[in-house]
């Protein structure tokens, strides 16, 4: 192992990150911060973090949309938001608009934040269900501050005053993934991370433990380490090729296995949200950045050819293409173990879930956060590794089920993919959640998960799973002026949105990218 530790010193001496991109540099930056590299009183010279990447190897780089927890990750690293947004050609995201998912002509918004605040012991959405059934309430979207801003093309960060409706929304970012990696690289190297240019071609295992001892580069150089972070993408060079960790295939529930991506010139529609539009055998993303718009068509090759998918994508973009469309192949699923021996897989090496709810970068973030919470010494305690794998599995499965919900709750009749998804048997836990909501609007869960009640509510209602009746308690609380409170909420949202700056104006004032970076 690297560095002869003093007697009794079991600290990890060298962490080697294999692969760059967003996953590699997010891992390197967070490890530098968590281990206190270069800080007085930190690990200092006792621990090193090295990242190995090759300019010859491209990155997937299509994951340009995020969800609110990315703000916590950036804040923990001490990144300045305005500088980060400007450096990555970023924009702001208040949620995701879903078009044609439930049926042709259907549209709804998955907001970041809540639908107002509860004004009674009975949750607010039950009052909406009751009012909607009586014809006394418009669409659920109209009760979201995030949608109030988004549909007007406006943006405003939430306030901390819980008495105000503008405290009920949240936000994330759209950004150029390659530029984010570059931004984090500068930050990580300033903290003491060493970067080595080179292409890793193989790994050598220690005979007595089976742990990875060193990685070998194409020019013959060998880099030894104590802990290896596999950020090698779909290849999964360490966790898969070297250690032989299995892969759990979820394509029976999430059959899309291809994506065609193309950047286009920006249009006048500079939306502070992502748009997902369903097509005959998949869906299309639209992500507006400062210097371009990101577009892609995710589809199932079992139900559509690559040529047809390409034609559909190019027919539905709203700007001139800036490059040739690029094909990506993938399979939904996860490694049966994300941590094996002294290797932790982060990002695509750990698995893949299509970017329907912008969870790719989030899963990188939580994988790193979980590693720091269970950071090993040279003994690599089995119970810590088991806990990492248990919680990782739970997180991935719960996100998987949320994605399945979108596909399963469809009433489209124009494509075999949609008929297949509407008819298949979903995981038992998800089936129970769908039934509970369909009956009385109840949202149940067996523990903490990324997507909370407002997210599930948005998809259930947005795709037509309207409860047969609200919670029975509503009938016992006729003294509560539910419809009036909902009307007051809608009025407050409209007033705030009307006064907020446009998305473009907010960026121009606070985080406009330098003109020279537009060519990056």
Q: What's the CATH number where 34 sits?
A: 3.50.50.60
96 within 8 A of 55, measured Cβ to Cβ: no
* Separation of alpha carbons 110 and 355, rounded Å: 14
433 assigned to some structural domain: yes
Q: Is 512 a catalytic site residue? A: no
3-state secondary structure of 430: helix
Please tell me which residue in 93, 320, 329, 512 is annotated as part of the active site. 93
- Classify strands 227-230 and 343-345 as parallel, antiparallel or unpaired: parallel
* Separation of alpha carbons 98 and 153, rounded Å: 16
3 or 243, greater pLDDT: 243
10 within 8 A of 192, measured Cβ to Cβ: no
CA 316 from centroid of its chain's CA atoms: 24
Beta bridge partners of 194: 50
Report the pLDDT value the prediction gives residue 520, as an integer from 0 to 100. 43
Report the pLDDT value the prediction gives residue 268, as an integer from 0 to 100. 87
Q: Which domain range does residue 267 map to?
A: 258-329
Report the pLDDT value the prediction gives residue 1, as an integer from 0 to 100. 43
Report the pLDDT value the prediction gives residue 82, as an integer from 0 to 100. 98
Give the number of domains in the chain.
3
**Contacts of residue 288, Cβ cutoff 8 Å, sequence gap at least 6:** 91, 174, 266, 269, 270, 271, 294
415 assigned to some structural domain: yes
387 assigned to some structural domain: no
Report the pLDDT value the prediction gives residue 59, as an integer from 0 to 100. 54
Report the pLDDT value the prediction gives residue 289, as an integer from 0 to 100. 96
On whether both 317 and 336 belong to a single domain, the answer is no
What percentage of the chain has pLDDT greater than the value 90? 90
Kindly report the number of other CB atoms within 10 A of residue 391's CB atom: 16
3-state secondary structure of 416: helix
On whether both 375 and 424 belong to a single domain, the answer is no
On whether both 483 and 445 belong to a single domain, the answer is yes
Question: Does the pLDDT of residue 54 top 50, yes or no?
Answer: yes
418 assigned to some structural domain: yes
420 within 8 A of 471, measured Cβ to Cβ: no
105 assigned to some structural domain: no
**DSSP 8-state secondary structure symbol assigned to residue 424:** S
Count how many residues are written for the chain: 520
Q: Where are the alpha helices (DSSP H) in 359-502?
A: 360-373, 382-408, 416-423, 428-440, 453-462, 482-499
On whether both 368 and 424 belong to a single domain, the answer is no
Beta bridge partners of 465: none
The tens digit of pLDDT for each residue in 165-222 reads: 999 999 999 999 999 999 999 999 999 999 999 999 999 999 889 999 999 999 999 9
On whether both 404 and 286 belong to a single domain, the answer is no
**Phi/psi at 48 (5° precision):** -120, 150
69 within 8 A of 451, measured Cβ to Cβ: no
On whether both 336 and 217 belong to a single domain, the answer is yes
On whether both 324 and 340 belong to a single domain, the answer is no
On whether both 437 and 369 belong to a single domain, the answer is no
**Contacts of residue 478, Cβ cutoff 8 Å, sequence gap at least 6:** none
Q: What tokens does 259 get?
A: 């994506």
pLDDT band at residue 519, thresholds of 50, 70 and 90? very low
Q: What tokens does 228 get?
A: 């290896």
On whether both 243 and 351 belong to a single domain, the answer is yes
200 assigned to some structural domain: yes
Q: Where are the beta strands (DSSP E) in 60-199?
A: 91-93, 95-99, 107-111, 172-174, 194-197
* Separation of alpha carbons 273 and 288, rounded Å: 8
- CA neighbours within 13 Å on the CB side: how many for 7? 0
454 assigned to some structural domain: yes
CA pseudo-torsion sign 153, 159, 164, 170: positive
* Separation of alpha carbons 302 and 257, rounded Å: 9
On whether both 140 and 29 belong to a single domain, the answer is no
């Amino acid at each position: 192992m690297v560095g002869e530790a003093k007697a009794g010193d079991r600290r990890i001496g060298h962490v080697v990150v294999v692969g760059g991109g967003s996953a590699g540099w997010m891992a390197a930056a967070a490890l530098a911060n968590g281990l206190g590299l270069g800080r007085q009183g930190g690990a200092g010279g006792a621990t090193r973090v090295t990242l190995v990447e090759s300019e010859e190897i491209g990155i997937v780089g299509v994951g340009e949309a995020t969800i609110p927890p990315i703000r916590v990750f950036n804040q923990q690293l001490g990144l300045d938001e305005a500088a980060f947004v400007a450096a990555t050609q970023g924009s702001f995201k208040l949620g995701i608009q879903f078009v044609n998912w439930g049926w042709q002509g259907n549209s709804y918004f998955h907001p970041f934040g809540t639908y107002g605040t509860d004004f009674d012991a009975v949750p607010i959405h039950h009052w909406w269900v009751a009012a909607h059934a009586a014809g006394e309430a418009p669409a659920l979207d109209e009760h979201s501050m995030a949608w109030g801003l988004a549909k007007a093309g406006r943006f405003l960060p939430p306030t901390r005053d819980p008495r105000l409706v503008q405290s009920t929304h949240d936000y994330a970012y759209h950004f150029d993934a390659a530029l984010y990696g570059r931004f984090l690289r500068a930050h990580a190297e300033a903290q003491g991370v060493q970067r080595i240019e080179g292409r890793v071609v193989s790994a050598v295992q220690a005979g007595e433990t089976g742990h990875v001892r060193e990685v070998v580069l194409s020019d013959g150089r060998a880099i030894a380490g104590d802990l290896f972070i596999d950020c090698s993408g779909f290849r999964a060079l360490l966790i898969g090729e070297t250690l032989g960790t299995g892969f759990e295939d979820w394509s029976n529930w999430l059959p899309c296995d291809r994506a065609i991506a193309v950047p286009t010139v920006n249009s006048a529609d500079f939306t502070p949200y992502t748009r997902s539009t369903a097509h005959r055998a998949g869906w299309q993303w639209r992500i507006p950045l400062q210097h371009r718009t990101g577009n892609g068509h995710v589809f199932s090759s079992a139900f559509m050819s690559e040529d047809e998918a390409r034609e559909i994508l190019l027919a539905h973009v709203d700007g001139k293409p800036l490059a040739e469309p690029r094909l990506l192949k993938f399979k939904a699923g996860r490694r049966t173990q994300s941590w094996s021996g002294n290797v932790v897989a982060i990002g695509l090496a750990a698995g893949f879930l299509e970017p329907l709810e912008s969870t790719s970068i989030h899963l990188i973030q939580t994988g790193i956060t979980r590693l720091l919470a269970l950071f090993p010494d040279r003994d690599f305690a089995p119970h810590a590794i088991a806990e990492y794998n248990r919680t990782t599995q739970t997180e991935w499965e719960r996100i998987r089920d949320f994605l399945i919900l979108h596909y399963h709750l469809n009433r489209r009749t124009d494509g075999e993919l949609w008929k297949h998804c509407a008819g298949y048997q979903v995981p038992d836990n998800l089936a129970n959640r769908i039934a509970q909501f369909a009956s009385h609007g109840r949202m149940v869960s067996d523990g903490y998960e990324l997507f909370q009640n407002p997210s599930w509510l948005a998809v259930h209602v947005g795709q037509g799973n309207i409860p047969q009746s609200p919670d029975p308690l509503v009938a016992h609380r006729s003294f509560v002026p539910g419809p009036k409170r909902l009307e007051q909420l809608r009025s407050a949202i409209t007033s705030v949105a009307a006064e907020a700056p446009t998305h473009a104006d907010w960026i121009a004032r606070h985080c406009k990218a330098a003109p020279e970076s537009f060519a990056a």
